[in-house]
Amino acid sequence: MVLEDPDVEMIVAEIEVSEHDVETPNGRFHCTMKGVPKGDRPVILTFHDVGLNYKTCWNTLFDHEDMAEIMQHFAVCHVDAPGQHEGANTFSAGYEYPSMDQLAESLPLMGYKKYFLIGFDLCIFQLDYPNMVEGLVLININSCAEGWMDWAAHKISGWTHAEPDMIITHLFGKEEIHHNHDLIATYRHHIMNDMNLFNLHLFVKSYESRRDLEIERPVPGSNARTLKCPSLLVVGDSSPAVEAVVECNTKLDPTKATLLKVRAPLHSLCRPGKLTEAFKYFIQGMGYMPAASMTRLVRSRTASGSSVTSFDGNRSRSHTSEGNRSRSHTNEGSRSRSHTAENPHGRSHTDSSMDTTANNNVDQGVSKSAEVSC
């Protein structure tokens, strides 16, 4: 099933696509590989949300016009959780579905050395295997276990009627559920007809049983449990996950984390142009794709004569002062040259700003983390 969006142009490119299963101690994962790993560059690994699979979660984004350039630089590995891919066989009665921790622990077994992670509930991967993750894009992240499943836990027995609606509530806000009937009907039809409902029920129970991440914002001299790589937290500004994402952002290192609020009433992935633009500048901030072209979103702003106070405008200014800013973060002035040498180790906190506002300082001398709206 393809979820169509008027802002999406399908890309026909010569990218090799292959599908295979990966057996792990925690179950069989279905993987779809697009492209071939390039040298020592990380592979983009995606993991879908509850109630979706890689196609319904990621095709709209990765088929977008501006993602094609990124995919020329990086291979992509789309991972489906056990039993969630199209045509999956039904698990036997009594099958013990892996926990969310076990799912995350299995992802390093996909066979690659370094990753950019994009998806849902991927923090555990980075926390347990920090040296394997170069960058992390988290959609609707909630660092606490409680959430929409608490509201719906008592309805588990009414699976075929209740849980699809619970998943819709998880994906979209109340306003969208009441006003965008066609979109909601499309997702509900997908859940009821394209997913293996028995397998999905097991995945939902696993999600319901997940544990808190127990992360905290580091302070000088502490050894806090936190994400140690550059992180982009993305949420639709009317998503039911907004408060949880904002709260999670307050627990991260402000020099490494950026919060992106997509100004759209839909689930953030329904606005792929904005997310693609953010991701492009995110990976550029780590020294990759220094000569990347403007995204279509920026070109349209420029052509219309609007004021481009976005990622590209701010980054174009940042290149002139990158050395000073890099030295202030790392005391390594040479990192400012990463944008011309495409040095993957010349990474810095994403300096993007779409109407940027800053969070409160944790204490004096600690940089503010960026909150971005687009």
Residue 76 three-state SS: strand
pLDDT of residue 43: 96
pLDDT of residue 186: 87
Q: What percent of the chain has pLDDT over 70?
A: 67
CA angle 334, 335, 336 (to 5 degrees): 90
pLDDT of residue 155: 42
329 or 226: which carries more pLDDT confidence? 226
CA angle 365, 256, 219 (to 5 degrees): 40
Residue 262 three-state SS: strand
pLDDT of residue 6: 44
348 or 243: which carries more pLDDT confidence? 243
Tokens matching residue 73: 């630089």
pLDDT of residue 168: 81
pLDDT in tens, 327-352: 344 444 444 434 334 444 444 443 33
Which residues in the chain belong to E strands, given as ranges?
Answer: 17-24, 27-34, 43-47, 76-80, 115-119, 133-139, 231-236, 257-262, 357-358, 370-373
pLDDT in tens, 71-99: 999 999 999 999 999 999 999 998 999 99
Question: Sorting pLDDT into bands at 50, 70 and 90, what band is 136?
Answer: very high
Q: Which long-range contacts (CB under 8 A, 24 or more apart) does 163-171 make?
A: 163/200, 163/201, 163/204, 164/51, 164/188, 164/191, 164/192, 166/204, 167/50, 167/51, 167/191, 167/204, 168/51, 169/240, 170/49, 170/50, 170/51, 170/240, 171/49, 171/51, 171/267
- 197: closest CA among 151, 153, 162? 162
pLDDT of residue 292: 67
pLDDT of residue 167: 81
What are the structural domains of the chain?
Answer: 17-151+159-295 (3.40.50.1820)
Q: What is the pTM of this model?
A: 0.74
Do 201 and 166 touch, CB atoms closer than 8 A? no
Q: What percent of the chain has pLDDT over 90?
A: 25
pLDDT of residue 268: 53
pLDDT of residue 294: 55
